Amino acid sequence: MQTTEPDTGVRPEILQVLDAMEDAVILADADMNVRTITPSMERLAGISADDTRGADAARIVADKILPEADGDQRERILSLLQNRTESGGIAVRVPSATGERWYIFSSRQVLATGDWLVRFRDITRREAAEGEVRRRSDDLAFLSRAATELATMPEEADLFSAIGAYLHELAPGSVVIASAADIQAGTLSPRAFFGIEPFLPDIIEVFGEGLTGLSLEIPPDIRAIMIRGEIEEVKGGLQEIALGQISQEICRKFEDIAGFGAMYCIPFAWKGEIFGSAVILTRREGGEVNFRAVEVFRSLASIALQRSRAEADLRESEKTFRALIEKGSEFIIIVDDQSKIRFASPPIERLDGFLPETLIGKNAFDMIQPEDLPRVEEEVSTLAERPGGSVQFEVRFRGPRGTHVIEAIVTNLLGDPQVRGFVVNAWDITERKRTEEALRRAEREKALILDSTAEMFAYYDTDLKVLWVNRAAAAFIGREPEDLVGHRCYEIWHNRTGVCDICPVVIARETRQPQETEI
């Protein structure tokens, strides 16, 4: 397309150069009157080359190109044109029907002819690319800072408050609410609020001052959505965000007061485990939400909450384990492959006054009664060939105040890098053994007494099976006492296959009163 007729005085070769240029260019004479314009300038200014011929270049720029441009830049450019002053690159934003565009303005005088070249180079794509690079750089800086601070946050810090503050940075002008989930109770409780200060008096009037004391029950369908861990736009407004547990009237009133726009829910979940959520309540007068950074931050926050919960569980587990180790009746010893004691738990002190710290480095076998030592050494030697295996036995320990009977379970964890030894879980069963021996002695004495009488004695269990009979009772039917153990009374005395119609044993058991009968 020819920009003007040859009679304009512009040489054909110059017209060819101008037609080939992608930049929007005005060719003006020494007085800054337009001689011709390029096709790009025609599109930018919305006028033809013929309509501009002879017009004031500064007026064309002011009225057709920069009517709504940034004030300071517009005035600076117009001043340069009016004063016929050369200029390097000046960036200027130009609103248009198709959207905002950016140009670099420059003005140069051709020394040979005195003509002026007024150029607007379209840098919209470059500016958009540079803006994208800046935004990505800012996002990376923000996410790097957030990840570092979340990872190093002290145990006593309120993680949900920190998460809410970070989200508020990404959603300036919005209201952000961060809530913790109690999955066992099936509830969601607000923990931190950001951006509500302008509406605080109205909020307190509606909800009272205990906002963080609210507890909202999580319906199954909402829980399923939260587990997916995806950012969702909440179409149902505040009432849906409140899980339907605050009246529609109150929610609408608050929405009108705050001037809310779109609302979004950001669940914090990791591998099917829910830790909480945050909501972003945008305001019609607020800024934009950086959803790209919000999505990445959601993952960072979920990981931080998962780690925090795991650390809390670990601390609780360690607390429980330590309580068991220090206060339980069981004591634990770790012995290395040279039979040296590397660890002894505090309860061992109750075993004849052994102090745990005094046992470290000692040979564990030195504590064993010499008569039991060969058996224990053989058990441990066999166990050493079975990584992860266990063996249980009783052994006598020698202490400062005497000998104790110990029941021990020894586990081979030599291959575990965290242990590298045999773990001995042991209990002092000295008193139990004494009690068992006393019972056996009493049983022997009872049997001796009852066997020496002519009266018949028998003991039955609840199923009427014989537990014990004296010799007189066994001799009555010509049997030995041990032959009758395990048989039912009606089989022995009455040669029956079922309980007698009137069984004195059954009646005595039910009435707890003595009964008499004849055999």
Cβ atoms of 268 and 275 closer than 8 Å: yes
Q: What's the start-to-end Cα distance of the chain, in Å?
A: 135
- CATH of 329-428, picked from 1.10.10.10, 1.10.150.170, 3.30.450.20, 3.40.50.720, is 3.30.450.20
Quickly tell me which residue has 């007698």 as its tokens.
Answer: 500
Same fold for the pair 6-122 and 135-313: yes
275-288 burial, b if ≥16 CB within 10 A, otherwise e?
Answer: bbbbbbbbbeebee
Cβ atoms of 282 and 174 closer than 8 Å: yes
Q: Model-level pTM greater than 0.75?
A: no
Helix extents (H) in 152-234 = 159-170, 200-207, 220-228
Nearest Cα neighbor of 304 from 142, 152, 141 is: 152
Nearest Cα neighbor of 32 from 90, 80, 103 is: 80
pLDDT at position 11, please? 61
Quote the crossing angle between the two packed helices 124-151 and 159-170, to the nearest 10°: 170
Nearest Cα neighbor of 267 from 229, 225, 297 is: 229
Question: Residue 424, exposed/middle/buried by CB under 10 A (0-12, 13-18, 19+)?
Answer: buried
- CATH of 135-313, picked from 3.30.70.270, 3.90.420.10, 3.40.50.720, 3.30.450.40, is 3.30.450.40
- So where are the chain's domains? 6-122, 135-313, 329-428, 439-511
Please name the residues in contact with 204: beta carbons below 8 A apart, sequence gap of 6 or more.
none
pLDDT at position 5, please? 43
pLDDT at position 197, please? 82
- CATH of 6-122, picked from 3.40.630.40, 2.30.40.10, 3.40.50.300, 3.30.450.20, is 3.30.450.20
Tell me the three-class secondary structure of 377-420, residue by residue.
HHHHHHHCCCCCCEEEEEEEEEECCEEEEEEEEEEEECCCCCCC
Residue 303 identity (one-letter amino acid): I
Mean pLDDT (10-residue bins), the chain, 519 residues = 45 62 87 90 88 91 85 87 88 81 90 90 88 91 93 89 95 91 86 84 64 75 84 86 79 82 91 90 85 93 90 79 61 91 86 83 91 93 92 88 88 90 89 84 76 76 83 82 84 81 81 74
pLDDT at position 321, please? 65
Question: Residue 235, exposed/middle/buried by CB under 10 A (0-12, 13-18, 19+)?
Answer: exposed
Quote the crossing angle between the two packed helices 124-151 and 291-327, to the nearest 10°: 10
Give the Cα separation of 267 and 256 in Å (integer): 26
According to DSSP, the residues that pair with 341 across neighbouring strands are: 335
pLDDT at position 7, please? 40
